[in-house]
Amino acid sequence: MPTRDEINKRPLLILGTHILAPEIADVVSDIPGVHVAGFVENMDRTRCANPINGLPVYWIDDAAALAGDHAALCGIATTFRIRFTDQIDALGMPFATLIHPTAHVSGTADIGTGTLVGAGAVIASHSRLGRHVFVNRGVLIGHHTLIGDFVTMQPGANIAGACEIGAAAYVGMGAVIIDRIKVGAHSIIAAGAVVVDAVPDHVLAAGVPAKIVKRNIPGK
């Protein structure tokens, strides 16, 4: 079984072909030893016809031939990216776990497989991030905070200490979550919201202070 460092040094395929994917490719290209080798598409095969930034776009089935010596990383912000990662898992391709050189991650923090920590992010002590978490640029995560699998945190989100963010939650740009708050699975925190009370599963919370404005949402 290859180590995380060995996987991170493999040629990297970015999952997705929309506007975020080349941005992710640019971010990870700043990391020493990372080489982006192409992109993977799983919904519209016609998107494989044209390269992105001069790099090939592989159809999901064709990526199977690369599973033995490449690694993958999601270039998708939607928390439904589990659909894509499950397909890659089925091919036997491992996932890279990457931290931008300008980010600060405490040595006591734990970062799950397939997670990307972007430029300028800070992850404090004893925090735990799950699998395939997307930590966009400038995100702050406080100490002893738990971040579930497939969570997305957009630029400038500030999550205080001892919080718990449920699986596949989405925290919008510039949102603030004060200490010891729990945000439920598949919930959305709108951009600029200030969360001062617990947020249940499958809701949209917005405003200052944040209030639930929509229920029974599937997620984002």
The residues assigned a catalytic role are: 143
CB atoms within 10 A of CB 125: 14
Is the Cα torsion angle 192, 198, 202, 204 positive or negative in sign? Answer: negative
- Residue 86's contacts (CB-CB under 8 Å, 6 or more residues apart) are none
- Three-class DSSP category at 23: helix
Amino acid at 27: V
- Residue 26 makes CB contacts below 8 A (sequence gap 6+) with none
Q: Residue 98 — φ and ψ, nearest 5°?
A: -125, 140
Q: Which residues pair with 15 in a beta bridge?
A: 40, 74
